Structure 1
Amino acid sequence: MTSSLSADWDFEREIRSILLRFVAFTILLVNLLLGGDEGAEGTHLAVVICYLVISIASVASARFLPGRSWLKTLFVILDALLVALLLYAHILGGPVTENHNVTTTSLVVAFILLNHVGLKLDRRLVLVFSCIVLVAWIGMLAVTAARHHTADVVSFVASFFNQDLGLTVSYGFTAFAIYLLAKDHDRTRKEALLADRRRLNLSRFFSPFVVADLQEGSSALELERRNAVIMFVDLRDFTSFAETAPARELATVLAQYRHLVSGTIFAHRGTVDKFIGDGVMAVFGQPTPMEDDADRALECALDLVDALNDWKHQSLVDGNPALNAGIGLHYGTVVGGVLDSGCHSEFTVIGDAVNVAQRLEALTKALNSPLVISSALVNQLRKPVPPALWVAQKEVALPGRRLPIDIWYLAHESGRIVPSEETYDTGGLQTALQRSSFQSPPPVAVGIG
């Protein structure tokens, strides 16, 4: 995902530059009509005409050849040469015996075009323009001093350091100030673009609320040990489907599935840790733990059961493959934050809780259940669980783990269907003692107490 901030910024700056060009042209034309540049009328007229042509060419290049930085540099060089031409008309264009003071009109032109380049907010262009004008201006003053005073070095220096040189130095200070402003703007722009790219990258994995928290402070990105809820979501028999499905159909199914899962997770303020093929790993409580992490995670899992069921049935109607999904949910201690791997840094969580959640998800297939949760998660709930066809099992062994755990799972794929007293079904896996400690009133609904 790429940032749109840079393109919008460049487009707005280009439009502003085009408008300012024609404002500058209007000022140049008014100065020509008002007069005040005796002996340089022809040169001033040529400057106005050339500037109009350059402005039209600049607009055309922005329209038909966008993004060509060398063209922008070329137009700035041409603008600087126009200023140098106008300075030449006033400083060196007349006879040696005449007064060669720079007129107000020529100064206005020089500062107008300097401001125009400065408003591009590109320090490179400011440097190119100001250097050409200053070198030409100082060189012309040196030639003028040499023309009038050739007797000795002292006379030359006295003639060179006059009022005109003071104007040149003032122009140089103005150009330097504009350069510093453009430099600060470049730095601010780069920081803003970096922040925007960072925000877009974070938004792929975090809800908008979490992204805002991460942008306000980066302490949550540091690796540290914290409690969190880990969720694994996986499609069953997806590998078999992927082996025979056309690439386009495979991409469509996977995109729909990921969009559905990640959207539901974000809606409950969870974090998508990673996508692994058809698997999704999510975290609640990372990077910022909250008191209701367990409640939101379970609510999210139940919503996903319903949403994935609806998606499966709609896929059948549309003639697409109907794939079941399994969800595993566990609460435990993890180490979370940015894991630096040299060329690639990853924001993730690691720990035994991750392995348990993944194995609970794998257990959904054996139990023919869409959702399996651990007792550790149940113990962290702060409010009653929405009633559903829950079944409890104690001391369930998980592959690769020495100690068994207690689990609860949905007995049917129907998700949150609330059973009546007559239709309540434990699947033959729940003992009377387990049921008495597991159920909570009202008797028509099964919940976790």
Structure 2
Amino acid sequence: MKSSLHPDWDSDRETRSILLRFVAFAILVANLVLGGNEGAMTTHHVVVVVYLGISVASVATTRFLARNSWLNTLFVVLDALLVALLLYAHILGGPVSENHNLTTSGLVVAFILLVHIGLKLDRRLVLVFSGIVLTSWVTMLAITAARHPADDVASLLASFLNQDLGLTVSFGFTAFAIYLLARDHDRTRREAIKADRRRLNLSRFFSPFVVGELQERGDALGLQRRNAAIMFVDLRDFTSFAETAPAPELAFVLGEYRQLVSQTIFEHGGTVDKFMGDGVMAVFGHPKPTEEDADRALACALELVDALTDWKRHSNRNGLPALHAAIGLHYGTVVGGVLDSGCHSEFTVIGDTVNVAQRLETMAKSLATPLVVSSDVISHLHSTVPYAAWVKQPLAMLHGRREPIDVWYIGRRDSGRTDNPYETEGRQTATQRSDFQSVPRAKDVDTA
């Protein structure tokens, strides 16, 4: 299995594997040239030629068919059979004797090829290679022991339990150690991939700073009850715009809007709970509460008022529909955390505070103001109320709620609704034509 964390790691590992393969080939050639293989020259010639062919085919497969697992397994089986053939040449190829002429170079090839398989970090391939080699090796030693003249079982065991068997056991222990390393690598890789997926999932909701701290501290993200500031952001007349806009332009406008809002929320340490079409729900104070949650939430809301106003003006200059934004902000007790539903984990916040914040955003639309804030937010500020054209409205009634609440909103002379909901400074609007004349490219739109 390839690692999904860093593709270059797989490439570097394959390069080392190829180098080891040709080191083994060089040892085979040197062993053949230097001699010392009396009685097994023909076998060594066959091994060298066949191994060269396997090596070339393996390199080509790695280059062009890297994900073909059955071919990789085939090459491992062929390597193991070649090692068994070398062992046969030394153990069974000659006359029966106590010394089976297992030369150092011949043993090195077996161990180098084992390391070569181990570099693939695939425990299945390690088992295949070592299983074939060990089975062949032990079988040939048993056959050799049976061929020795023996008067009793003790003599037969003595012929079998010799130095050659010690080499076999050494090979087996080495294979077992490499198998354990490959298994540990698999486990580490799975944990790393799991952590990477968790980070990507958390990054959908939290700022990079919060994600890093959550991973470092390992904070539990189960449902918890605590105080937090809830903010809803929505666009006026977006539904009318969406009904007439071509899909590419709709995606362009919505993408710019979401990026602007989420980036501003993250910069103030907030959490994006969810996107709902043109609506954005944000939380300040969960999963990491601070004493300045209300301050940060209000500062974020005021910055969003300015940022979305600038965005509307830039849209005007580029012939795009300029949509007004409405923001509702409330502070209170919520229940929030990450709900794991098996295949999908989602951060969520529930409670009456959420409902009030959403109704305040609806009130902002009816008041034609960009921002409505509850008195609970103001009362929980640790600093003075930021300067703005505040208008206080006591005992405001919210839809679906019996008890009225005191609210603050920004009164602006230019915030009222116009006859043209998409201000384009003299250009045709979406309500004045069936569709847009052109879809702007991203580089033509100033989003600064």
* 94-103 or 72-81, larger mean C-alpha shift: 94-103
Corresponding position: 1:302 with 2:302: yes
- Where does residue 159 of structure 1 map in the other structure? 159
The alpha-carbon distance between structure 1 residues 200 and 18, as it changes in their structure 2 partners (threshold 3 A), is farther
Corresponding position: 1:63 with 2:70: no
Q: Is the 8 A contact 1:36 1:105 kept in 2?
A: no
The alpha-carbon distance between structure 1 residues 311 and 19, as it changes in their structure 2 partners (threshold 3 A), is farther
What's the C-alpha RMSD, in Å, of the aligned pairs? Answer: 2.3
Secondary structure of 1:403 counterpart: coil
Q: Is the 8 A contact 1:91 1:144 kept in 2?
A: yes
Q: Is the 8 A contact 1:271 1:282 kept in 2?
A: yes
Deviations 1:168-209 (A, max 9, x none): 011111111111111111111110111011111111111111
Deviations 1:74-133 (A, max 9, x none): 221122112111111111122346842422111111111111111222111111110011
Matches within 5 A, 1:171-186: 171-186=171-186
Aligned residue pairs total: 413
Q: Is the 8 A contact 2:337 2:348 kept in 1?
A: yes
- Where does residue 244 of structure 2 map in the other structure? 244
Q: Which has the higher contact order (CA 8 A, sep 6+)?
A: 2
Q: Tell me, in whole angstroms, the C-alpha distance in 2 between the residues paired with 1:36 and 1:270.
A: 75
Structure 1 gaps of 5+ residues are 416-449
- Where does residue 253 of structure 1 map in the other structure? 253
Q: Tell me, in whole angstroms, the C-alpha distance in 1 between the residues paired with 2:44 and 2:320.
A: 74
Corresponding position: 1:382 with 2:382: yes
Secondary structure of 1:221 counterpart: coil
The alpha-carbon distance between structure 1 residues 219 and 17, as it changes in their structure 2 partners (threshold 3 A), is same
Q: Is the 8 A contact 1:234 1:280 kept in 2?
A: yes
The alpha-carbon distance between structure 1 residues 303 and 175, as it changes in their structure 2 partners (threshold 3 A), is same
Corresponding position: 1:47 with 2:41: no
- Where does residue 231 of structure 2 map in the other structure? 231
Deviations 1:51-87 (A, max 9, x none): 3332322222222123222222122112211211111
Q: Tell me, in whole angstroms, the C-alpha distance in 2 between the residues paired with 1:175 and 1:147.
A: 29
The alpha-carbon distance between structure 1 residues 228 and 15, as it changes in their structure 2 partners (threshold 3 A), is farther
Q: Is the 8 A contact 1:233 1:361 kept in 2?
A: yes
Deviations 1:403-424 (A, max 9, x none): 1111111212879xxxxxxxxx
The Cα of 1:359 is off from its aligned counterpart by 0.7
* 94-103 or 140-149, larger mean C-alpha shift: 94-103
The Cα of 1:368 is off from its aligned counterpart by 0.8
Q: Which amino acid aligns with 1:56?
A: V
Q: Is the 8 A contact 1:335 1:349 kept in 2?
A: yes
Q: Tell me, in whole angstroms, the C-alpha distance in 2 between the residues paired with 1:196 and 1:107.
A: 42
- Where does residue 204 of structure 2 map in the other structure? 204
Deviations 1:122-146 (A, max 9, x none): 1111111100110111111122122
- Where does residue 336 of structure 2 map in the other structure? 336
Q: Tell me, in whole angstroms, the C-alpha distance in 1 between the residues paired with 2:304 and 2:373.
A: 14
Q: Is the 8 A contact 2:4 2:193 kept in 1?
A: no
Q: Tell me, in whole angstroms, the C-alpha distance in 1 between the residues paired with 2:98 and 2:163.
A: 16
- Where does residue 408 of structure 2 map in the other structure? 408
Secondary structure of 1:131 counterpart: helix
Q: Tell me, in whole angstroms, the C-alpha distance in 1 between the residues paired with 2:244 and 2:150.
A: 92
Identity fraction in percent: 73
Q: Is the 8 A contact 2:28 2:106 kept in 1?
A: no
* 138-147 or 23-32, larger mean C-alpha shift: 23-32
- Where does residue 83 of structure 1 map in the other structure? 83
Secondary structure of 2:323 counterpart: coil
Q: Is the 8 A contact 2:18 2:59 kept in 1?
A: yes
Secondary structure of 1:320 counterpart: coil
Secondary structure of 2:83 counterpart: helix
Secondary structure of 2:309 counterpart: helix
Deviations 1:333-377 (A, max 9, x none): 101112354664432111111111111111111111111111111
| TM-score of the superposed pair, with normalisation by structure 2 | 0.86
Q: Which amino acid aligns with 2:117?
A: V
Structure 2 gaps of 5+ residues are 416-448
The alpha-carbon distance between structure 1 residues 329 and 106, as it changes in their structure 2 partners (threshold 3 A), is same
Q: Tell me, in whole angstroms, the C-alpha distance in 2 between the residues paired with 1:98 and 1:62.
A: 42
Corresponding position: 1:100 with 2:113: no
The alpha-carbon distance between structure 1 residues 29 and 200, as it changes in their structure 2 partners (threshold 3 A), is farther
Q: Is the 8 A contact 1:101 1:164 kept in 2?
A: no
